[in-house]
Structure 1
């Protein structure tokens, strides 16, 4: 990986390109994609939240891009999303017809210096950053043991099974949260998307799960309505001061902080809490991002940035996005670059804590 200084220089260059590219649109010099097909690479299976996010945006992006190209979502799962990301790292910009959708499960291996990572976020050009949340849920019989405010103390003696993409992926956030709550959770590693974890839950092969908001809204809500799943807590959101508050998409659910506060032995201060919060911040407020590959010219960056801004400006966007994605910021331009920066850096103390925890708890050695 390149140094932090070089990464910041690359980030500045990307932001400068996005800003200087904007006038090109006004002058009519946007790239023309008429008659072309844009391939949107998603490094997960077609069952998870990233699939739902990309499939929501794809037809809207097609309408907003010059020439109205067909936007096709291509799924490239493997190695916890590093396979698809490594593939995109080798993509050279050609004509603006290849874009990439990253997620927290792609960012975390990068943050943890996973040896399988051969990609560098500083090389890519961000054109959209989407915030999201996450909801943990249980079968009805186990949810019935929760105390007031989601207190998990009574669940400490239960044996839980969880379908996981891997301990160094976005699943790190729920896995550490459940350990902080004193739960005995045995992960089954190797699923290719969070939707596969939900299917394990539906089949009775897992008895605890979480989904990102888009997947929860579409895939878990029917289970809740049928009585086979009960929401427990949402991880939360950040207020302007950086405090964890309730998720605006799920205002009636307690945040993880609230549940931790009422559960015996769970602390919302100290090294463990600081580590959890650092990776939550890296993984959720800017959890999904869209990139153009290295070498993209100013006009291409500006064209895609403007297209996503036009999508957000649609009169019906708030209505249709809330139902599919939840209530979260959809960021472009300088705001997207700031989100990228926050999603690809964590304090060294938090990284050291998590690295030690992964080794001690799961035997994962990152070298």
Structure 2
């Protein structure tokens, strides 16, 4: 069992213990009233990006289900790859229930890597929602590899991946390819995964991944016409920390399955622990919403109940497809385990990643 899975299962066990005291929580939540108030939801990214769209989609439903139906206003504070706005929130937000923050994998990664610019601490935030996402890795059909069971045919071939940077969300495929044993040359400088896909389509890159929505929109047609072959998805995590198939791609094996197809055994070791930490943070638990440190438990409970009601709201369910996909949102008692996945890394795995980035990509973080 990897250290990350042990951490997830420990977190789940802790939640179960806490649940024994939960009989008082609904009563506490009923004491909270935000009537006539404005809730400020900090998003440390520019308007129009994925996290901004996510928050603006959820905001009216959060307003509808919080006690007193307060207005929920999105406040964008971009800069520093999302570090600036999150640092500001950690320093200034008051624990009165009128401020929350929503981050993403690109905010969690610097924290996990020990970036000295980080002044926020996920251990003291109070999570109230975690949203997962997914993605699929694919190659040209011209390679003659039909599916993940034939991954061994790629072992001696140099592949090219068009990357946004070694510490960006593209760290997940970088670590995945390293663990898998694929020989991949990472070419940096892409401004987004869309650029990476275009490089792939021009033949400049020979392996790529796209997030679920982009894959379904832009890559599935290439699969359908026979020019692209999907290898594996990243998968999702269940409440016990086990990797499961992505519900958007139930016929595509997840990374762990693909590894087993190629090597005959399950992956293990520090490199895999590092991959699991960043996969969890970048995909399986990518977007957490949090209240500041010290928020009273009755306010935390009110938010958790509100988000649980929001994601079950028939109107949200009917319109969630393009924003939330087919992924189950972690709310209520499910929040703690997945939040820990997004914000925790074993110190030895962190050191391994720091050494790997320094030795292979000349990246120094401290």
In which range does the TM-score fall when normalised by the shorter chain? 0.7 to 0.9
Q: Mean Cα displacement is larger for which, 353-362 or 142-151?
A: 142-151
Deviations 1:16-59 (A, max 9, x none): 9x9666423334x322245x3x3322233456543443233123
CA contact (8 A) 1:31 1:299 kept: no
Counterpart of 1:293 in structure 2 is 292
1:89 Cα deviation from its structure 2 partner: 1.2
1:267 Cα deviation from its structure 2 partner: 7.6
TM-score by length of 1: 0.77
Correspondence 1:30 to 2:29? no
CA contact (8 A) 1:146 1:155 kept: no
| Alpha-carbon spacing, 1:93–1:167, altered in 2? closer, same or farther (3 Å) | same
Please give the alpha-carbon distance, in whole angstroms, between the structure 2 residues aligned to 1:362 and 1:266.
Answer: 29
Counterpart of 1:128 in structure 2 is 129
Deviations 1:102-128 (A, max 9, x none): 222222221221111111113322111
CA contact (8 A) 1:267 1:273 kept: no
CA contact (8 A) 1:182 1:265 kept: no
1:263 Cα deviation from its structure 2 partner: 4.4
1:364 Cα deviation from its structure 2 partner: 1.8
Counterpart of 2:275 in structure 1 is 276
Counterpart of 1:112 in structure 2 is 113
CA contact (8 A) 1:24 1:30 kept: no
Number of residue pairs the alignment of both structures matches: 341
TM-score by length of 2: 0.77
Counterpart of 1:310 in structure 2 is 309
2:123 match: secondary structure: helix
2:33 match: secondary structure: coil
Please give the alpha-carbon distance, in whole angstroms, between the structure 1 residues aligned to 2:141 and 2:80.
Answer: 32
Counterpart of 2:338 in structure 1 is 339
Counterpart of 1:5 in structure 2 is none
Please give the alpha-carbon distance, in whole angstroms, between the structure 1 residues aligned to 2:239 and 2:294.
Answer: 35
CA RMSD, Structure 1 to Structure 2 (Å): 3.6
Deviations 1:304-336 (A, max 9, x none): 222112113324555544553233332234431
| Alpha-carbon spacing, 1:259–1:337, altered in 2? closer, same or farther (3 Å) | closer
Please give the alpha-carbon distance, in whole angstroms, between the structure 2 residues aligned to 1:211 and 1:120.
Answer: 29
Counterpart of 2:160 in structure 1 is 160
Question: Which of 227, 242, 248 is 2:222 aligned to?
Answer: 227
Counterpart of 1:325 in structure 2 is 324
| Alpha-carbon spacing, 1:265–1:46, altered in 2? closer, same or farther (3 Å) | farther
Counterpart of 1:247 in structure 2 is 246
1:173 Cα deviation from its structure 2 partner: 1.3
Deviations 1:118-157 (A, max 9, x none): 111133221112233232345xxx2432513234444854
Please give the alpha-carbon distance, in whole angstroms, between the structure 2 residues aligned to 1:305 and 1:57.
Answer: 13
CA contact (8 A) 1:104 1:282 kept: yes
Deviations 1:170-217 (A, max 9, x none): 3321111123342423242584xxxx32245347687454344xxx32
1:243 Cα deviation from its structure 2 partner: 4.1
| Alpha-carbon spacing, 1:74–1:233, altered in 2? closer, same or farther (3 Å) | farther
Counterpart of 1:147 in structure 2 is 145
1:77 Cα deviation from its structure 2 partner: 3.6
Counterpart of 1:84 in structure 2 is 85
Please give the alpha-carbon distance, in whole angstroms, between the structure 2 residues aligned to 1:137 and 1:173.
Answer: 15
Deviations 1:217-243 (A, max 9, x none): 2x3422135539844421113357644
1:289 match: secondary structure: strand
1:251 Cα deviation from its structure 2 partner: 0.5
Please give the alpha-carbon distance, in whole angstroms, between the structure 2 residues aligned to 1:235 and 1:108.
Answer: 17
CA contact (8 A) 1:42 1:101 kept: yes
Q: Mean Cα displacement is larger for which, 44-53 or 75-84?
A: 44-53
Please give the alpha-carbon distance, in whole angstroms, between the structure 1 residues aligned to 2:357 and 2:274.
Answer: 12
CA contact (8 A) 1:41 1:75 kept: yes
5+ long unaligned stretches in structure 1:
1-7
Please give the alpha-carbon distance, in whole angstroms, between the structure 2 residues aligned to 1:25 and 1:159.
Answer: 54
